[in-house]
Amino acid sequence: DDVLNVSGHRLGTMEIESALVANTTLVAEAAVVGRPDDLTGEAVCAFVVTKPGADVDEAALLAHCRGHLGDFEVPKLIRIVDALPATSTGKVQKHLLRQQFARLAEQAWLNEAP
């Protein structure tokens, strides 16, 4: 899906991806997906590939987003990755990214269990 439903707002992922990539000195590629959220319906989550030699972390990318997007559009979570999974034609496989977030959430839950 390239449209997320966050607190009743329908968000196009391309706008959020464009805001991340607009930081041209740091970001090479970005992909945005939603993950289920009990409070908002879906939470905006981003995977970012930084440019070689870029010194950036998730907090800096979130700050950049806050300056360019509405509050409900700002990703709740950003992960910096080496590459985005893509088909042979270059289309990002967002279903694989959603699966990665599901595994991360499950691991976090297991780590919190007594």
State pLDDT tens for residues 41-65: 888 999 999 999 888 888 989 999 9
Query: Is the separation of the CB atoms in 48 and 25 below 8 Å?
Result: no
Confidence of residue 1 (pLDDT cuts 50, 70, 90): low
Q: Three-class SS of residue 92?
A: strand
Residue 74's pLDDT is 93
Distance CA 1, CA 15 (A): 14
Q: Is the pLDDT of residue 94 over 90?
A: yes
Helix segments in 23-93, DSSP class H: 58-68
Distance CA 114, CA 110 (A): 9
Q: Three-class SS of residue 113?
A: coil
pLDDT: is 8 or 24 the higher one?
Answer: 8
Chain-centre distance for alpha carbon 25:
18
Which pTM value belongs to this model?
0.84
Least confident range of 9-23, 65-79, 92-106: 92-106
